[in-house]
A and B are shown apart, each in its own frame.
Chain A
């Protein structure tokens, strides 16, 4: 473990060199070590969620993301009872639930939204029942709402791993992923293994959600999987640009949200999500092609009587 601690510290140090370029009001709270670790975790979560977010938004997987994140709760509770690291249980129940949703959808007449609704509520209910048997549940509250200021080294390493896996997957499998997201039928016709891509993406989504739990918590992680991608979709008509903007929105929300939350002494997970939502609102109004202001203005110009 000391090696991992050293790795984390050196990464946090590298991040602080970047942060020192920012104005003092923003970088001042990060002189403490626990704040640096929180910042590192948040930046990684923002970037990873930002990447996945584009696929979630374009594939209409928002509800699936919500379902997987809720389905993580029983895994966390059971892992706590057994004394395992929380993310092992979280990944197992999250993955099982997403597979179960797929199976119901494929083999019965139940539609996908109903399949998701019934699977994730059942899993979440199981989590609540198990938690009610645990007397000290402060740790579990952290899972529900995030606790990035007290992030454990093991969780930080998991987040780091998830970021690496997500970035490498999207880089190395860029073409199959793009084609699968855009036109799965064409991917099939070109001989790509569509179901492997599908389940691979769902596992990657589950991994990302589990890695984000300590930062934003179960309830809010879906916001990080929807808002950056939706914001980017309003701002560009190119997939690669959308990925870049979405990562940018995720990282900016993470840094600004964490700094604000410390300054105002409020919950950091919620603040990060609020900053992301604010950026979305800004894009919704002021996006150069798809923003509301430009649309209004175009319509006004069109309807203006010729003078």
Chain B
């Protein structure tokens, strides 16, 4: 699926990106390049544009200006080719939805199923190509949720739901994993399991892009840290980016960005 991309092609490349919700600017002049096979933690204050940046990457927020490349190519084509697995923050999910854990994970394969022969696409998803079913079982196993595969998703605890949603992203077997605060609101055992699972993914050569508030976790696991507060405040090694000096600058950045924001909106 990435025939024209070499190992040197950035997983994500953003140039001169501006984005806004209604009138309010949330991202200004973002330029960055995330290499393949690395774990990048995105850190910044609330309202600093972390989730908005991910929303641009998944196509839910159209940029006002600027360019995005996923593995060197146009984002929509790459999303459709299944290059991007996304795990949302899931704040406004309808957990009452009538769907089992296993079928939830299967929805992660729905993009890839577009390439199945027509007759397979006319069958129910669970009778689909065995490759899909295999990927689903493997992903459920990876997050230790195989025992609960038949349960309705709404009956799980918060931490278990997060693990299922991670399994759905894993089931896609995409080269890039994009995660929006995968650790928010989960218990310590689930947190350890999520981090260990992601560590295995990184070792398998996958690119991980993760929004997080967990600074110790970012120090321990991330290869790079992106500090963002409407603008890029810093991008580099965790020790450097998560130093007191840089974190102070990240907080100050909000004041600069606010004045810059007015300027850009005018």
Contact = CB atoms under 8 A, between A and B. Distances in A.
Nearest to A54: B98
Given A188-B60, A189-B84, A237-B100, A183 B93 contact: yes
Interface residues of A, number: 26
A186 B88 contact: yes
Interface stretch (B105-113, B133-141, B220-228, B238-246): B105-113
Interface string B68-104: 0000000011011110111010000110111110011
* A interface, over-half SS: helix
A52 to B, nearest CB: 16
Contacts of A190: 79-80, 82, 110-111
A237 B95 CA distance: 11
B86 A189 contact: yes
B125 A238 contact: no
B32 interface: no
B58 interface: yes
B99 A182 contact: yes
Nearest to B97: A182
Contacts of A174: 124-125
B59 A191 contact: yes
The CB with the most chain A CB atoms within 10 A, among B81, B152, B178, is that of: B152
B80 A191 contact: yes
B122 interface: yes
A191 B94 contact: no
Nearest to A240: B124
Interface string A40-75: 000000000000000000100000000000000000
A242 B96 CA distance: 13
A183 B108 CA distance: 11
A186 B92 CA distance: 13
Interface of A: 58, 171-172, 174-176, 178-179, 181-183, 185-186, 188-192, 233, 236-242
Of all A-B residue pairs in the complex, the 4 with the closest CB atoms, nearest first, are A190-B111, A191-B80, A191-B79, A189-B86
Given A191-B81, A236-B98, 7 more contacts: A175-B110, A175-B121, A182-B94, A189-B79, A233-B98, A238-B100, A242-B98
12 contacts: A58-B98, A171-B122, A175-B121, A179-B107, A189-B85, A189-B86, A190-B110, A191-B76, A191-B77, A237-B154, A238-B98, A238-B100
